[in-house]
Amino acid sequence: MFKLAERMQKIPPYLFAELDAMKKKRIAEGAKVIDLGVGDPDLPTPRHIVEAMKKAVDKVERQKYPSYEGMYEFRQAVSEFYNRRKGVKLSPEREIIALIGSKEGIAHLPLAFVNPGDYVLIPDPGYPVYYASTIMAGGIPYQMPLREENNFLPKLDEIPSEIAKKAKIIFLNYPNNPTSAIATKEFIKEAIDFCIDNKIILAHDYAYGEICFDRYRAPSFLEFDNAFDVTIEFNSLSKTYNMTGWRIGFACGNEEILKGLLKVKTNVDSGVFEAVQEAGIAALRGDDEVIDEICRVYSERRDILVDGLNKIGLKAKKPKATFYVWCKVPMKSIEFVKKMLESAGIVATPGVGFGSFGEGYVRFALTKEKEIIKEAVERLEKFLGSN
């Protein structure tokens, strides 16, 4: 009786629903399933952050409607964080707004700047929200392939100039989900120049900016010359501090772009619960050792998984960042994932779920203890031996 709007029909059904059902079935059958599918940290939110929230909840002034742009002190804490970790100066008044998780900001940005028929450049494979938010704004997604031979960076000079001229936004995401690739300085400079030349908003999704290994540091795009002319950077406390459930992130960079996003937000939501912002302040102002420790845990798991995969004949590189391993598989990704679940009881995400150029790959998340990852490798060895 109630037909979905045409724009919603254009958003593909949740591909992972079928896999989810299969996983539940295996569990019901008594299988001990190891889920390396979801990108949700297993580690707890650090204690001092939880305590800050508990204290804040008791304060009456924190129980009211928050401001749209976020508490001044939260934005101040973001500014200190960027200055301390990236050497980037941000004005808390003009160059930062709080978000209800960065996904919220990413989903609302196209509504602020995209007219029906405008192009939005999105990576393929990529985080599905770039595609969905473009469609919801009436825009046309233009998929930029991320190919292994180009280190999973899009080739900007392959984008036809008519499309580049009609594009309003380009979404980029480094360190990258799902490929775990990182951006070179040359690429970031090229992307900024491309956006300046074509008057395109550079929306950089920096959700994994702090999840780095082997002394690598993933730069903020705002560290580069002229970046503030075109860039909005989306950032989040979700992955940095194991706070996915808290729903707090922020956007920073170009003032005009932030104002546009805030105009949408003031008409949709009423900001982030201030007690959660107080927890965010405690996180951002806390000891950076907390982040180092989280990265140490992931890098240890990464070594176990990647060494194991390579030993049993699957090809995966050790990522320098993110908590994902992007692994080439010898068949269609959905087929591989289904078989792996059936015979080894392991869940991973088929690459094709992130776009057609993700076909032939599977994404493993490093969000389980190392003992469990070791067991996953053993099971995989048996599984591949029998196939």
Instruction: Kindly tell me which of 136 and 344 has the beta carbon lying closer to ligand PLP.
Output: 136
Q: What's the min distance (Å) between Cβ of 116 and ligand PLP?
A: 25
Interacting span for ligand PLP (CB under 6 A) from 152-160, 163-171, 214-222, 234-242: 234-242
Q: Answer whether 375's CB lies under 8 Å from 164's CB.
A: no
In the shown chain, the binding pattern of residues 192 to 231 toward ligand PLP, with x for contact by CB under 6 A and - for none, equals: -------------x-x------------------------
Strands 34-35 and 346-347: parallel
Provide the residue type at 326 as one letter: W
Q: Which residues, 245 to 284, sit near ligand PLP by CB under 6 A?
A: 249
Q: What's the min distance (Å) between Cβ of 41 and ligand PLP?
A: 10
Q: What's the min distance (Å) between Cβ of 266 and ligand PLP?
A: 19
Q: What's the min distance (Å) between Cβ of 346 and ligand PLP?
A: 21
Q: Which residues, 330 to 359, sit near ligand PLP by CB under 6 A?
A: none
Interacting span for ligand PLP (CB under 6 A) from 15-23, 210-218, 235-243, 353-361: 235-243
Provide the residue type at 151 as one letter: N
Q: Is 285 helix (H, G, I), strand (E, B) or coil?
A: helix
Instruction: Kindly tell me which of 23 and 103 has the beta carbon lying closer to ligand PLP.
Output: 103
Q: Which residues, 176 to 195, sit near ligand PLP by CB under 6 A?
A: 177
Provide the residue type at 329 as one letter: V
φ, ψ of residue 367 in degrees (nearest 5)? -105, 35
Q: Answer whether 333's CB lies under 8 Å from 358's CB.
A: yes
Instruction: Kindly tell me which of 99 and 340 has the beta carbon lying closer to ligand PLP.
Output: 99
Residue of the chain from 23, 34, 39, 133 that contacts ligand PLP (CB under 6 A): 39
Should residue 125 be labelled a site residue for ligand PLP when binding is judged by CB under 6 A? Answer: no
Q: Answer whether 332's CB lies under 8 Å from 307's CB.
A: no
Cα 239 from Cα 367, distance rounded (Å): 11
Question: Which residue's entry shows tokens 């940095």?
Answer: 240
Provide the residue type at 106 as one letter: I
Q: What's the min distance (Å) between Cβ of 371 and ligand PLP?
A: 25
Instruction: Kindly tell me which of 235 and 333 has the beta carbon lying closer to ligand PLP.
Output: 235
> How many residues of this chain bind ligand PLP (CB under 6 A)?
14
Q: What's the min distance (Å) between Cβ of 101 and ligand PLP?
A: 3
- Which residues are registered as beta bridge partners of 197? none
Q: Answer whether 46's CB lies under 8 Å from 290's CB.
A: yes
Instruction: Kindly tell me which of 67 and 173 has the beta carbon lying closer to ligand PLP.
Output: 173
Instruction: Kindly tell me which of 187 and 343 has the beta carbon lying closer to ligand PLP.
Output: 187
The enclosing H or E element of 327 equals: strand 324-328
Interacting span for ligand PLP (CB under 6 A) from 142-150, 180-188, 238-246, 293-301: 238-246
Tell me which DSSP letter residue 220 carries.
Answer: P
In the shown chain, the binding pattern of residues 85 to 104 toward ligand PLP, with x for contact by CB under 6 A and - for none, equals: ----------------xxx-
Residue of the chain from 238, 242, 277, 299 that contacts ligand PLP (CB under 6 A): 238
CA triple 179-223-148, angle to 5 deg: 20
Should residue 42 be labelled a site residue for ligand PLP when binding is judged by CB under 6 A? Answer: no
Helix, strand and coil in the chain, % to nearest 5:
50, 15, 35
Should residue 173 be labelled a site residue for ligand PLP when binding is judged by CB under 6 A? Answer: yes
CA-to-CA dists, residue 379 to 34, 308, 331, angstroms: 10, 11, 18
CA triple 87-88-93, angle to 5 deg: 140
Instruction: Kindly tell me which of 177 and 254 has the beta carbon lying closer to ligand PLP.
Output: 177
CA triple 208-212-216, angle to 5 deg: 130
Instruction: Kindly tell me which of 106 and 380 has the beta carbon lying closer to ligand PLP.
Output: 106
Cα 107 from Cα 33, distance rounded (Å): 32
Q: DSSP string spanning 260-277?
A: HHHHHHHTT-----HHHH
Cα–Cα nearest to 274, from 248, 297, 300, 245: 248
Residue of the chain from 73, 128, 147, 244 that contacts ligand PLP (CB under 6 A): 244
Interacting residues toward ligand PLP by CB under 6 A: 39, 101-103, 127, 173, 177, 205, 207, 236, 238-239, 244, 249
